[in-house]
A = this chain, B = another copy of it.
């Protein structure tokens, strides 16, 4: 193993599913003892779930959450300049929705090698499941919280899709999922294709693409279930 910054994929779902994690991740974890993580408890639980036969109490963890400044993360990385560092998010790939990209940008500035390990991304998995164009797309992060902003956001996304063909992907805070679907049904055109990928790889996984008019009749319960939404077009 090289002395480098390793980007370590975590589970997408809260249920431990070691079979979802590739052997190269497992063997890499055996050689890394310094970790910058979004949440120490989740990180320990993840490593422990993989049954790697390592002494987790000897690993060093530093928290890299939303409160950690760039300076704090930089000083940890400076202290650990002679060690490989694993970057780990609470779920999925690091450096997307967490402060992992602060650490990764610092790695580039410090001239340290960045090595990704293969793992699934919720966004990309949702996209391939949708049946929509995967060659041109935009991911918007979380939909706006305020009703009026969210409705404008949905309308803008639909307009952009119609004008450019780019698939439009976004998320919602899980406890607001049902309100979002309701707003989408009321806001988007009835023929617009709307895709949901919820609890990806989990026991209640739900993958469905339907026209808005058919979502009205569909009874799904996504309350508090992590989900990725997209609108797009089927290939002709």
Q: Which residues of A contact B (CB under 8 A)?
A: 7, 12, 17-24, 27, 70, 93-97, 99-102, 104-109, 113-116, 118-121, 123-125, 127-142, 166, 197, 200-201, 205, 207-210, 234-236
The one of B19, B101, B120 in contact with A128, judged by C-beta atoms closer than 8 angstroms, is B101
Residues of B close to A120: CB separation below 8 A: 116, 118-120
Question: Could you tell me if B95 and A134 are in contact, using CB atoms closer than 8 angstroms?
Answer: yes
C-alpha spacing A234/B12, complex, angstroms = 25
C-alpha spacing A20/B118, complex, angstroms = 6
Copies of this chain, complex-wide, total: 2
Question: Could you tell me if A128 and B70 are in contact, using CB atoms closer than 8 angstroms?
Answer: no
Question: Could you tell me if A140 and B136 are in contact, using CB atoms closer than 8 angstroms?
Answer: yes
Q: Is the interface of A mostly helix, strand, loop or mixed?
A: mixed
C-alpha spacing A73/B201, complex, angstroms = 26
C-alpha spacing A236/B69, complex, angstroms = 9
Residues of B close to A99: CB separation below 8 A: 235
Residues of B close to A123: CB separation below 8 A: 124
The distance from the CB of A201 to the nearest CB of chain B, in whole angstroms, is 6
Residues of B close to A134: CB separation below 8 A: 95-97, 101
15 A-B residue pairs with Cβ-Cβ distance under 8 Å, sorted by A, are A23-B23, A93-B124, A94-B128, A95-B128, A97-B135, A102-B235, A104-B128, A104-B129, A105-B235, A108-B208, A109-B234, A116-B197, A116-B201, A118-B125, A120-B120
The one of B108, B128, B166 in contact with A100, judged by C-beta atoms closer than 8 angstroms, is B128
Query: Known: A119-B120, A125-B116, A136-B140. Is A95-B131 also a contact (CB below 8 A)?
Result: yes
Question: Could you tell me if A93 and B128 are in contact, using CB atoms closer than 8 angstroms?
Answer: yes
Nearest B residue to A207 via CB reads B114
Question: Could you tell me if A128 and B116 are in contact, using CB atoms closer than 8 angstroms?
Answer: yes
Residues of B close to A197: CB separation below 8 A: 116
Question: Could you tell me if B118 and A207 are in contact, using CB atoms closer than 8 angstroms?
Answer: no
Nearest B residue to A97 via CB reads B135
The one of B20, B100, B209 in contact with A22, judged by C-beta atoms closer than 8 angstroms, is B20
Residues of B close to A102: CB separation below 8 A: 234-235
Query: Known: A124-B121, A208-B108. Is A138-B166 also a contact (CB below 8 A)?
Result: yes
Nearest B residue to A89 via CB reads B128
